[in-house]
Structure 1
Amino acid sequence: MVSKRLLTCLAFTAAAGFLLATASASDAQPPAKRILLIGKEPDHPPRSHEYMATCRLLAACLNRVEGVEATVSDGWPDEPLDAFAAVVLYRAPFAEEMFVGPRSGEARRLLDSGGGLVTIHWSVGVPPEGYDALGGVMTRYQGGVWLSNSGQVAIGQSRVRTLQPDHPILRGVRLESIRDEWYFNPEVAADAAPLWSVDTESGPLTVAWTYQRPGGGRTFATTLGHFWENFTREPFRKAIVNGVLWAAQADVPAGGADVEVNRELLELEAAERQPALSP
């Protein structure tokens, strides 16, 4: 017959094991939110459209955030897009590859399931020859679209007007003015919310907006980002990183993301020497 003392010992051991297992489960960290930044080699004069260097700089900032894992890819990654929580596009217009190309199903699955989308500068646009086929789908996922390669651009300097001062993207951000390339006549959807505007000779111009997609996903789009120098400025860089976190449905800290990086990464030549990171 099993002794009473042994039964008590066994019961205590089982209870301790259960409590330990429960504590371990509660202490387990949720899986990291994986964010993919897609760039390409530069196609503009130096210090403008520095896609890969900029993606590496933003990834370095994102990887400082607990629970976030950012990866940079030069063009399409080997891994499916829908393996990520959000995709950031900073490159030439990519709408055709994203939404009608052979791997477009991955992008649609990601976005239709609530994944995040961030488009920076030229990536917000579609070329005139693709507008009829892609304008509608870009508006559906991006909350707006801009007709690229149409001559509707100008370099300018302006005060930045904040249109959603309490938005998480603007936490810790004081961007008072900017010199950038203006993309005129963006088509911002009625259910998207302009975030920033600038003053131009033609009047106020929306240069960033947020979009809560009907399926539950989030998009942050900005037509700014022509010059490399703007990404080296902490307020602008913080807003972009905050925007990526918001789109990925990750927590944006009360004071905004910590975007301090090694000084070398802010030097373009050094940034260009960093190896590309593939998923």
Structure 2
Amino acid sequence: MKRLLVLFVAALGLASSLLAAADKKIVLIAGKPSHPPGMHEFRAGALLLQQCLAATPGVKVAVYTNGWPDVANAFEGADAVVIYCDGGGKHPAIQEDHKQILAELVRKGVGLGLMHYGVEIPKDNGGPEFLQWIGGYYESNYSCNPMWSPEYQKFPDHPVARGVKPFSNRDEWYFNMRWTEGEKGITPILTAKPSDAVRAGPYVSPKGPYEHVLAAKGRTETMMWVYDRPGGGRGFGFTGGHTHANWGDENQRKVVLNALLWVAKVEVPKNGVVSTVTADQLAANLDPKPAPKKK
């Protein structure tokens, strides 16, 4: 009897190990601190998203803060990598050998998501790769970054949009991205029509306006998209996330949480990821930053 009990316990342990091994792993990389308090709170935002997925069965979210992971096995077993960071020429994806690391992950079918400033990359260093990896990117002096309040009213029939209801948040929502040829493989998720005043600026930097952005007045723009890569992998870009308080909006959280699951090839719940966030949770893990100087 004792021997049977030992075998039963061992079998349970093996089953638990196999289940744990089957968990989908999402690696969330939060960039280094930047901007005044309440803005570009990459660490706090990433940890908040991790908390919101903590109860999702079959999913493990690993968060690395303050930039690129400093451990050798950070990407071991990863099903998706999502980077929420400052971009441009200092983008962590193009420092040292990081571009090669990401290229190899993508080659293996690992999903890739970029959020807020993280979608901006130099057109001649990372731009071609982002087109292949996530379907589009923010190009300096071509794309623009005004502070505005898009009205997200309609959503596609796509897993990332499940359960998402109309919402609007004032944020630095980028638009006029560079896309794959013919936007092949891209499904717009968050779309809205900027007013003529929004197109006319000022943009955050450079202030603009850009003639090509003005010339497109009346056009619906895409502020979040998903991408089905030709090789079977997945990617997404989310341009919001400048203002940390907006993670308190249930629908903004839901569409990004859905994207985190989808890009890792996890089935998104019928009504999307349900989560609640308290004021204390929003205020937790903020980067220590000096208060803005009084004028």
TM range (shorter): 0.7 to 0.9
- The structure having more radius of gyration, on CA atoms, is 1
Give the distance between the partners of 1:93 and 1:149, measured in 2 at CA.
Answer: 14
Cα distance in 1, alignment partners of residues 135 and 58 from structure 2: 27
Corresponding residue for residue 59 of structure 2: 68
* Aligned mate of 1:144, from 110, 113, 136: 136
Within the alignment, does 1:265 sit opposite 2:256 as a pair? no
Structure 1: runs of 5+ lacking an equivalent: 1-16, 275-279
2:187 to 190, 193, 214: 193
Shift of 1:260: 2.2
Q: Residues 20-35 of structure 1 correspond to what in structure 2 (within 5 A)?
A: 28-29=18-19, 31=21, 32-35=23-26
List alignment gaps of at least 5 residues for structure 2: 1-6, 197-216, 289-295
Distance 1:21 1:70 in 2: 27
Map 1:10-89 to 2 at 5 A: 28-29=18-19, 31=21, 32-73=23-64, 74-77=66-69, 78-80=71-73, 82-83=75-76, 84-89=78-83
Cα distance in 2 between the residues matched to 1:21 and 1:226: 48
Relative to the length of structure 2, the TM-score reads: 0.76
Counterpart-to-counterpart distance in 1, 2:98 and 2:25: 19
Q: CA deviation at 1:209?
A: 0.8
Letter in 2 for 1:87: V
Larger displacement relative to structure 2 (51-60 or 186-195): 186-195
Amino acid at match of 1:105: Q
Count of matched residue pairs: 253
CA distance in 1, matches of 2:86, 2:115: 10
- 1:81 Cα shift? 5.1
Separation in 2, partners of 1:214, 1:151: 25
CA RMSD of aligned residues (A): 2.9
**Paired residues for 1:238-277 under 5 Å:** 238-261=254-277, 263-267=279-283, 270-272=284-286
* Larger proportion of strand: 1
Q: Structure 1 residues 143, 80: closer, same or farther in 2, change over 3 A?
A: farther
Identity in percent: 33
Residues of 2 paired with 1:235 and 1:108: CA distance? 32
